Chain A
Amino acid sequence: MEMQDRSLAGNRRTFLQQAGVLTLGAGAAGLFAGRPALAAAPKFRSDVGVIQTALALEHEGIAAYRIAGKSGLLSPGTLNVALIFMGHHEAHRDSLAKLVMQAGMKPVEPKSDAQYVADLKLGSLKSEKDVVSLATTLELGAASAYIGQINAIRDPKLANLFASISADEATHWTTLNAAGGGPIPKTAYIFG
């Protein structure tokens, strides 16, 4: 098992290096922050509820990467990728929280780390493979959740933001799924 894990980690490093991901610093996440289209508050009060739900999802994603990143289970290459993805989620969080505040409401707060550890069973993660598997599942769910909520949004600019965030999550899923050796889905409409 140890050898399998080591082999997996090696393959994953190779994959990520080939993808050029390792050449990016965690600071690259800043490039994705601050979308100019988001200057205005949500036009519709009902949209704020959708944003709050998405914000809760981003809080959870950030916590998962942060806590897993400190676990000591990740090899340096995988940790670097995890930090980049965490940076994307932080940029999503900031965009969403800003919209909630502009609507005159209080953005939903993150839970405690202890609560996230319990909710996501992070204490049961024993290897890098476990971490990648969990992150893959969460990113699949996140990409789909954003698409699933677009129908409920009344402001087209907000719908555009949700589509953009979903694409980020889909990129995370694709990277993680490939790194973990998961199959390419044979049927179309992978998310949603």
Chain B
Amino acid sequence: MRTPLRWALQLGGVAAAGLLAITMFARPGLAVDDVAAGQALYQSKCTGCHSVDADRIGPRHRDVIGRKVASVPGFNYSPALKKLGGVWTPARLDQWLSGTQKMAPGSRMYIAIDDPTQRRLLIAYLRSVSKPH
């Protein structure tokens, strides 16, 4: 049986969780829904090889936006990616996700996401785990 106090506590918990989510994802130019959808896509498409905070088969994604390409300390990048140069921007990530081998032939990542909406959502999530730029 639900007492008013329990109701209030549960409601408070939900509100706090919602506020936390908004605080985590609220960023100028980033829609909360896009970030959540991007996170779900990230879980499906990226977590086989990547984590946000650990280098695995691929390098960590924390602060990837604004990061110099092939620059995570200690990660063993392919010569192709080292040669690419520059900085990861949303536009460059869009190009990368469109076809990694087209952008850097010989790199060790083999993916091509044709759907621009999926790429946009993934990049929204990657922006949410990066410092604002």
Q: Contacts A56-B57, A119-B54 hold; do A141 and B108 have CB atoms under 8 A apart?
A: no
- Report the Cα distance A60→B50, complex, angstroms: 12
B3 proximal to A (CB < 8 A): no
Interface of chain B, main secondary structure: loop
Interface size classification for chain B: 10 to 19
Q: Contacts A152-B112, A191-B44 hold; do A57 and B54 have CB atoms under 8 A apart?
A: no
Contact partner of A141 (CB less than 8 A), chosen from B49, B54, B55, B111, is B49
Contact B110 A50 (CB under 8 A): yes
- Chain B interface residues toward A at CB < 8 A: 43-49, 51, 54-57, 101, 106, 108-112
- Chain A interface residues toward B at CB < 8 A: 49-50, 52-53, 56-57, 60, 118-121, 137-138, 140-146, 148-149, 151-152, 190-192
30 CB-based A-B contacts, threshold 8 Å: A49-B106, A49-B110, A53-B108, A53-B109, A56-B57, A57-B48, A57-B49, A60-B56, A60-B57, A119-B54, A120-B51, A120-B54, A137-B43, A138-B47, A138-B48, A140-B47, A140-B48, A141-B43, A141-B44, A141-B46, A141-B47, A143-B48, A148-B45, A148-B48, A148-B110, A149-B111, A152-B101, A152-B111, A190-B44, A191-B44
